[in-house]
Amino acid sequence: MDTDTQRLLHTFSALADLGQEIADTGDFEEMLRNSFHLLLGSLAIRRGGVTEYDREGHQLRLVAARGLGVGTSETFNIAAHHARDLASLGSAITLADATKEAERFLEDHKSELASIEIDLLLPLVVRERLIGIVLLGEKASGEKFTEEDFETLKVLSRHIGVGIHSHRLLEEVEHKAIENQKLYDGLRKIYKETVHAFAAAIDIKDRYTQGHSVRVGKYSEIIAREMGWSDDEVEGITIAGYLHDIGKLIVDLSVINSPERFSAKESKEMSRHPSAGYEILARINHPYAEIPLMARYHHERIDGNGYPDGLKGDQIPPGAKIVTLADSFDAMTTDRPYRNKLPLEDVLEDFRANTGTQFDPVVVCAFCRAFLKEIEGSKERRLLNLLNRNYDNVESVSPLLNQLLVDFDGGSLAATAH
């Protein structure tokens, strides 16, 4: 094999290895070191370094080096106009270079470069911007760099420049992704606080049910979690619980605050609130798409006798079935103008009587399991803490909860997957 062919093969091999290094983005510093090694090895260059240009700091920072003396500065100052000159020049510069752009740069830096035995500079330019400079010393052969060498180095250094540029872009994208996540988290926090404020506004209108919406949200959350819903879904149903009665905002205040049981006319007025709630919520682009439907269907019954649409069984979204149970549970366990809260035993008896007609057995069983786990101490006391404000000796209902599970779930304590 003649020398030219061997030289060509050696260069091609370096280029192939370099391509592989650049593609492997695992460790940027390591990639740079290896790439620079390859560049030096392609022509057996004795020393050099890769510098990265810091546009804000007007500095060249040494990011890879080989054979430079101990104590070589890690940074080189470079004026902005020099960076522009080098970017426009784009080709190799020897210390004896006489082009106008190179001259201006060398005027300021020649002695500094000569002191570390650098003979050749390769500006790394991507999209007409200076990314860095490759600094190179002499070849092991002692021969001058040839035009062919310049071409080889130009190709290899261009790969390194693109590698640095890609890494910078990746860093910028990552930085922007973090910023976006922070922004998103902030918006989500505002959304939750707004929803909470709405829940409070809804409950303030009804003087007898203060705190109802927030409690329904919390009960719904407990049930959904027991049913194995994901964190996002649980968050969605909690918000649906907070907002399920938002339609009451358009119901006449005198009806809502009536101290008596509703008349037929008042009932009709009151029954507008699920549809009205849907109309209000459907105009908002919620992170959880089903929230308006949960508000609309929280008075539906699985036997089809509910309102506003008389949906049956699986026609009712699972989330609405959960909110229905949570809503009923809170209604029965708090005082109303026309009756006091019911004893817990009566509440559970109501569940037993209406499971399969008003309530979905799967939801009732999930509620019972969550309740029992809190009593047994295997789960955080959230439901119990909400109930303990109004009830003593909540734990005594364990047998009734177990009986409900036997009746509707074969006594299983295993969570039912969503």
Taking the complex as a whole, how short is the minimal distance between the CB of residue 418 and other proteins, in angstroms?
44
Radius of gyration of the chain (CA): 37
Between the two ends of the chain, the Cα-to-Cα distance in Å is 71
* Of 22, 40, 134, 195, the one binding other proteins by CB under 8 A: 40
CA angle at residue 154 from 148 to 156, to 5 degrees?
Answer: 105
Does 213 interact with other proteins (rule: CB under 8 A)? no
Judged by beta carbon, residue 35 or residue 334, the one nearer other proteins is: 35
In degrees to the nearest 10, what's the CA dihedral of 178, 181, 187, 191? -150
* Of 143, 172, 179, 346, the one binding other proteins by CB under 8 A: 143
Does 41 interact with other proteins (rule: CB under 8 A)? yes
Does 44 interact with other proteins (rule: CB under 8 A)? yes
Do 412 and 405 contact (CB within 8 A), yes or no? yes
Judged by beta carbon, residue 39 or residue 397, the one nearer other proteins is: 39
Binding to other proteins (CB under 8 A): which residues in 49-108? 66-67
User: Any idea which residue has 């026609």 for tokens?
Assistant: 315
Judged by beta carbon, residue 26 or residue 377, the one nearer other proteins is: 26
- What token pair was written down for 231? 């964190």
Q: Judging by beta carbons within 10 Å of its beta carbon (0-12, 13-18, 19+), is residue 206 exposed, middle or buried?
A: middle
Does 47 interact with other proteins (rule: CB under 8 A)? yes
Taking the complex as a whole, how short is the minimal distance between the CB of residue 11 and other proteins, in angstroms?
9
DSSP 146-205: PHHHHHHHHHHHHHHHHHHHHHHHHHHHHHHHHHHHHHHHHHHHHHHHHHHHHHHHHHHH
Enter the DSSP assignment of 245.
T
Q: Among 141-149, 248-256, 274-282, 371-379, which window interacts with other proteins (CB under 8 A)?
A: 141-149
Q: Among 42-50, 174-182, 238-246, 350-358, which window interacts with other proteins (CB under 8 A)?
A: 42-50
Does 7 interact with other proteins (rule: CB under 8 A)? yes
Contacts with other proteins by CB under 8 A: the residue count is 27
Do 322 and 237 contact (CB within 8 A), yes or no? yes
User: Any idea which residue has 């079935």 for tokens?
Assistant: 321
* Of 109, 139, 159, 272, the one binding other proteins by CB under 8 A: 139
Q: Judging by beta carbons within 10 Å of its beta carbon (0-12, 13-18, 19+), is residue 383 exposed, middle or buried?
A: buried
Judged by beta carbon, residue 42 or residue 220, the one nearer other proteins is: 42
Judged by beta carbon, residue 136 or residue 164, the one nearer other proteins is: 136
- What token pair was written down for 212? 């109802």
Judged by beta carbon, residue 34 or residue 213, the one nearer other proteins is: 34
With a CB cutoff of 8 Å and minimum separation 6, the contacts of 383 are 219, 222, 370, 371, 374
Taking the complex as a whole, how short is the minimal distance between the CB of residue 13 and other proteins, in angstroms?
6
Q: Among 41-49, 93-101, 285-293, 401-409, which window interacts with other proteins (CB under 8 A)?
A: 41-49
Q: Judging by beta carbons within 10 Å of its beta carbon (0-12, 13-18, 19+), is residue 59 exposed, middle or buried?
A: middle
- Give the whole-angstrom CA distance, residue 10 versus residue 31: 20
Does 13 interact with other proteins (rule: CB under 8 A)? yes
* Of 56, 98, 100, 142, the one binding other proteins by CB under 8 A: 142
Does 312 interact with other proteins (rule: CB under 8 A)? no
Binding to other proteins (CB under 8 A): which residues in 184-203? none
- Give the whole-angstrom CA distance, residue 124 versus residue 161: 5
Q: Among 138-146, 285-293, 367-375, 389-397, which window interacts with other proteins (CB under 8 A)?
A: 138-146
Judged by beta carbon, residue 9 or residue 190, the one nearer other proteins is: 9
Q: Among 97-105, 134-142, 339-347, 384-392, which window interacts with other proteins (CB under 8 A)?
A: 134-142
Does 158 interact with other proteins (rule: CB under 8 A)? no
Taking the complex as a whole, how short is the minimal distance between the CB of residue 147 and other proteins, in angstroms?
17
Chain CA centroid to CA 327, Å: 32
Judged by beta carbon, residue 154 or residue 189, the one nearer other proteins is: 154
Characterize the bridge pairing of strands 93-94 and 48-54.
unpaired
Enter the DSSP assignment of 416.
P
* Of 73, 141, 263, 390, the one binding other proteins by CB under 8 A: 141
The CB-side HSE value for 317 (13 A sphere, CA atoms) comes to: 17
- What token pair was written down for 353? 């009587």
Judged by beta carbon, residue 12 or residue 338, the one nearer other proteins is: 12
Kindly list the residues in this chain that would bind other proteins in the complex (CB under 8 A): 1, 3, 6-7, 10, 13-14, 17, 34, 37-47, 66-67, 139-143
